[in-house]
A and B are shown apart, each in its own frame.
Chain A
Amino acid sequence: MSGIEAIWRAESGRVLATLIRLLRDFDRAEEALHDAFLAAQEQWPRTGVPANPRAWLVSAGRFKAIDRIRRRARFADIAREIAATEEEAQMPEDAEPIADDSLRLIFTCCHPEIPADGRIALTLREVAGLTTEEIAAAFLSTTPAIAQRIVRAKNRIKELALPYEVPEPDQLARRLDAVLHVIYLIFNEGYSASHGTAAIRAELCAEAIRLCRQLVALQPEPDALGLLALLLLQDARKAARVGPDGDIVLLADQDRSRWDFPQIAEGTALAQRAFATQPVAAYTIEAAIAAVHCGAVTADRTNWTEIAALYDLLLRADASPVVALNRAVAIAMRDGPEAGLKLIEALLERGELNRFRYAHSARADLLRRLGRTDEARDAYQAALQFTGQEAERRFIEGRLRGLAS
């Protein structure tokens, strides 16, 4: 049972991507994926796990899908689909490796014919395997809104019969931005999971890095290099970001000897390479910021002046409220908590960050450092209200207890 669960985590994304290509229908493919794993749960304990579980699951899913279409074939139009699906679904034998369809699927999900908000939501769900509810949290949005975007995006793909393929080189650059943004969001959800019990969901980070490497191999655009640099640098600190009991360890308190230095070296070199090409993408600037953090031997040797300057640059490339929030934190480190607090409060007044847990916890932290305990308590409470994730909840509760004593 736990073996099957591990295979689900490792393979479900790629099995689904292949089933979507074969069955040309998201809903039918999801149903087939579900059926395939039910069949695995039933058969594998008796027969053992097959040598190539991914191929087995694809094959079982395809078979179940055709079986279902047949059983539901009360209407002539569906009956006609059977023949077509069977023709398209000619599968290689189990021994043959199946091409990785994830990258192909990302480009379909990020097709310019799909509304921008739908592209990202669809990719996060279909490629990264996030639930509607997790995507809503990652987007600071509501579940019904995200659910509708996904339904509309799937309808659009069906309506226009969009192909499942990586675009030709002449179209690739135009299509790349949306894909990079999606990979970035997948990583973010893994880096600080919004739901569940674990603070970091390493498999989402690994998935984002894997997809980004594939993309770089396909087309080494500076923006893609910058993103890969950023992901590698952030991911390099993961062993030190969570304590032995699963609690969050802030950057300043991390055991830096546990960072992954070869990965930091790779990320820093990529960031430098990406920085050399103008105009510098937002991801590249973020990577440069991460490289400054990773280059500091101890927390108090961090070059906050350089980081604040990079945030000024980043805010010009990406004028988002979340970037402005991070810049405020950097300025608080450079000029003191009072200066940062003024900026954060101005941001909260604008309203876009009211449901964003980090805005409240950053404000709370600065209030705490200024000794304004009552206000800090209210702000931590506000942060707690928007935290769906256990380790973060414990961290904030710890801070609240610290205030009381």
Chain B
Amino acid sequence: MRYLCLVHTGPDPFSGLSEADQRQFDRDSINYDKELGEAGHYITSDALDAPESAVIVKVRGGEISATDGPFSETKEHLGGFIMIEARDMNEAIRLAAGIPMARLGTIEVRPVFMIPDPDRP
């Protein structure tokens, strides 16, 4: 099964770290992705830019509206994600616990839901 690990962090997760520690942290993160890859668990991952850079899009009555992201005032935001392949939820939890960002923020583990084919009764 696939699980999406959503990495939530505060506005400045690295504020407590020295520059050298921060570099080490980034190295750890890259290594962990590599480790997940070697074990056949890694599908894809990325870090996300700050919520201030986001635009919210919707279509109502045929009209597109684009507004600022709603998250600028909240303490926690989505800072990145890792999509993994795991046997079950507890394996996904074990793998999520190894993500270095789990030590600074929180990881939300969401099972991927397969949308049933709407044309198959």
Beta-carbon contact of A147 and B89 below 8 Å: yes
Interface set of B (CB-CB < 8 Å, partner A): 1, 39-40, 87-91, 93-94, 97, 111
Residues of B within 8 Å of A143, CB to CB, are: 89, 111
**Proximity string of chain A (125-150) to chain B, C-beta cutoff 8 Å, 1 when within and 0 when not:** 10000011110000000011011001
Query: How far is the CB of B23 from the nearest CB of chain A, in Å?
Result: 14
Q: Is A31 an interface residue (CB 8 A)?
A: yes
Residues of B within 8 Å of A38, CB to CB, are: 39-40
Given A131-B88, A132-B88, A133-B88, also A151-B93 (CB < 8 A): yes
Beta-carbon contact of A144 and B89 below 8 Å: yes
Beta-carbon contact of B87 and A131 below 8 Å: yes
Beta-carbon contact of A125 and B90 below 8 Å: yes
Residues of B within 8 Å of A86, CB to CB, are: none
Please name the residue on chain A nearest to B121 by beta carbon: A397
Residues of B within 8 Å of A35, CB to CB, are: 39
Provide the bound-state CA to CA distance between A249 and B70, in Å.
56
Query: How far is the CB of A133 from the nearest CB of chain B, in Å?
Result: 6
* Cβ-neighbour of A151 out of B39, B90, B111 (below 8 A): B90
Query: How far is the CB of A61 from the nearest CB of chain B, in Å?
Result: 13
Q: Is A235 an interface residue (CB 8 A)?
A: no
Query: How far is the CB of B24 from the nearest CB of chain A, in Å?
Result: 9
Q: Is A81 an interface residue (CB 8 A)?
A: no
Provide the bound-state CA to CA distance between A131 and B87, in Å.
7
Show 29 A/B contacts (Cβ-Cβ < 8 Å), sorted by A: A27-B94, A27-B97, A30-B91, A31-B39, A34-B39, A38-B40, A125-B88, A125-B90, A131-B87, A131-B88, A131-B89, A132-B88, A132-B89, A132-B90, A133-B1, A133-B88, A133-B89, A133-B111, A134-B88, A143-B89, A143-B111, A144-B89, A146-B89, A147-B89, A147-B90, A147-B93, A150-B90, A151-B90, A151-B93
Residues of A within 8 Å of B89, CB to CB, are: 131-133, 143-144, 146-147
Residues of A within 8 Å of B90, CB to CB, are: 125, 132, 147, 150-151
Residues of A within 8 Å of B39, CB to CB, are: 31, 34-35, 38
Provide the bound-state CA to CA distance between A38 and B89, in Å.
20
Please name the residue on chain B nearest to A31 by beta carbon: B94
Provide the bound-state CA to CA distance between A27 and B93, in Å.
10
Provide the bound-state CA to CA distance between A146 and B39, in Å.
25
Query: How far is the CB of A15 from the nearest CB of chain B, in Å?
Result: 15
Provide the bound-state CA to CA distance between A5 and B91, in Å.
19
Query: How far is the CB of B2 from the nearest CB of chain A, in Å?
Result: 13
Please name the residue on chain B nearest to A136 by beta carbon: B89
Query: How far is the CB of B87 from the nearest CB of chain A, in Å?
Result: 6
**Proximity string of chain A (309-344) to chain B, C-beta cutoff 8 Å, 1 when within and 0 when not:** 000000000000000000000000000000000000
Residues of B within 8 Å of A150, CB to CB, are: 90
Query: How far is the CB of B96 from the nearest CB of chain A, in Å?
Result: 11
Query: How far is the CB of A388 from the nearest CB of chain B, in Å?
Result: 12
Residues of B within 8 Å of A27, CB to CB, are: 94, 97
Provide the bound-state CA to CA distance between A34 and B90, in Å.
14
Please name the residue on chain A nearest to B97 by beta carbon: A27
Residues of B within 8 Å of A131, CB to CB, are: 87-89
**Proximity string of chain A (168-194) to chain B, C-beta cutoff 8 Å, 1 when within and 0 when not:** 000000000000000000000000000
Provide the bound-state CA to CA distance between A134 and B91, in Å.
13
Residues of A within 8 Å of B93, CB to CB, are: 147, 151
Provide the bound-state CA to CA distance between A150 and B94, in Å.
11
Give chain A interface residues in 22-39, CB to chain B under 8 Å.
27, 30-31, 34-35, 38
